Amino acid sequence: MQSLLHYLSYWDAALAVVLVFGGLIFFHELGHFLAFRAFKVGVITFSIGMGPKLCSFKRGKTEYRLSWLPFGGYVSGVGEYSNEVESLGFTQEEAVNNRPAWQRLIIAFAGPFMNLVIAWIIYWGLT
């Protein structure tokens, strides 16, 4: 019994790690998502986690998803991986591959930039 309690005491630490990483992943992906929206690029999926979906809902044309494996996330923009734009319910103007290179660069950099902003907020919140 004592060894079982010993192993269970690690679950709270593991849960804390998953929640902290999940928060960091959320804000990183939120950076990409906001950049997509700022440039009027359609978003197919906003997912926290990888693998099979645990739960999801659709708002507008975007599916918001929580997936089983909490070790990543992604934001899927229209035209990012395939040319099937109209079949997904979007227009060619909403496709990321029709954007100039500087906009695609900002979209790519928005995730890491959001991590820097969160780090700055946490730093100044703790001092």
**Strands annotated E in the chain:** 43-59, 62-77
What is the C-alpha separation between 113 and 53, in angstroms, rounded? 27
The runs of H, that is alpha helices, within the chain are 2-8, 11-38, 101-126
Burial class (CB in 10 A: 0-12, 13-18, 19+), 63: middle
Which residues are annotated as catalytic?
29
